[in-house]
Copies of this chain bind each other. A is one copy, B any other.
């Protein structure tokens, strides 16, 4: 959920809200109700609830110290952005194994924000990262693709270099991407695989056999054409084709329906140290040439800085707002 700051909310007021939200983050993460909770029984233990708070560009107009590159993204040629899914001054990103717990937590953040900020959008998504045998898997989007294989692995030097700025902060881009399942379903499986450059069965590159095999971007097929096409998503987004630029991406599937108007897609979250330096060139490249553009339309876009984690005696954004 994203919020817009009320005109009366200055730096000191925002600091008060962050103190209050910090206590909420801790209580809800431990399955405890928050002070003044109107539905305390909906706080559940053992649901792995986590909350991430982000600051939109406007927060740094109040507080100064804007991170380099934290600006609303320029509109891409394929974008069809709607106000109702775009922008925002504050982000709360709540995940859990139980949707009721998420909805309860969001309601508490909204209630505590009331004197300071009002909701502008809420996006609800789901992701299954557990296989039928109970083991972790990368997970699949609504196109049926294994989605996220190219990420740097959490805890590796590549991950740290991709995600963390020098001060321990990061940034997140939230893009709401509508998927045209009807026209996608008209393709053959090999057409679908060619658009991505990976196999639907395992997520392996078309040049490999296992999900995490490296792409062989030089390989040619029997007809002498590139085995991974020039406009394949996996090629265009690969760091070796982007001067080493990487992001850490996390998708959430969504469905959104109003009567006969059915919509499905991906809430795409990209984490990186520097949006302008890492994400934006990649986005521009994909917008210009990605084969997948034919079946995808971005309808929402927002950017946020995520301050470093806080200590038990501290609060979210303490360094910026304290």
Interface residues of A (CB under 8 A from B): 31, 38-42, 44-47, 82-85, 98-101, 103, 107, 111, 118-124, 126-128, 132, 140, 142-144, 181, 184-185, 200-201, 253, 255-260, 262, 264
Contact = CB atoms under 8 A, between A and B. Distances in A.
A253 B119 CA distance: 21
A128 B38 CA distance: 19
Nearest to A127: B100
B100 A257 contact: no
B264 A132 contact: no
Nearest to A300: B259
6 contacts: A31-B132, A39-B143, A42-B142, A83-B259, A84-B259, A122-B257
A31 B133 CA distance: 13
A47 to B, nearest CB: 8
Contacts of A184: 38
Nearest to A42: B144
Contacts of A111: 185
A84 B258 contact: yes
B132 A46 contact: yes
Given A41-B144, A41-B200, A185-B38, A120 B257 contact: no
Contacts of A40: 144
Contact of A39 (B41, B121, B144): B144
Nearest to A144: B39
Query: Helix, strand, loop or mixed for chain A's interface?
Result: mixed
A128 B200 CA distance: 32
Given A38-B144, A38-B185, 19 more contacts: A31-B132, A40-B144, A41-B140, A42-B140, A45-B132, A46-B132, A47-B132, A82-B259, A84-B260, A99-B126, A99-B253, A100-B126, A100-B142, A103-B142, A111-B185, A119-B260, A120-B260, A122-B262, A256-B258
Nearest to A110: B262
Contacts of A38: 144, 184-185
Given A38-B185, A255-B122, A128 B144 contact: no
A29 to B, nearest CB: 14
A253 B103 contact: yes
Contacts of A84: 258-260
A44 B111 CA distance: 38
Contacts of A253: 99-100, 103
B259 A85 contact: yes
A39 B253 CA distance: 15
A202 to B, nearest CB: 9
A28 to B, nearest CB: 14
A275 to B, nearest CB: 24
Closest 5 CB pairs of A and B: A84-B259, A39-B144, A38-B185, A99-B126, A122-B257
A210 to B, nearest CB: 16
Contacts of A144: 38-42
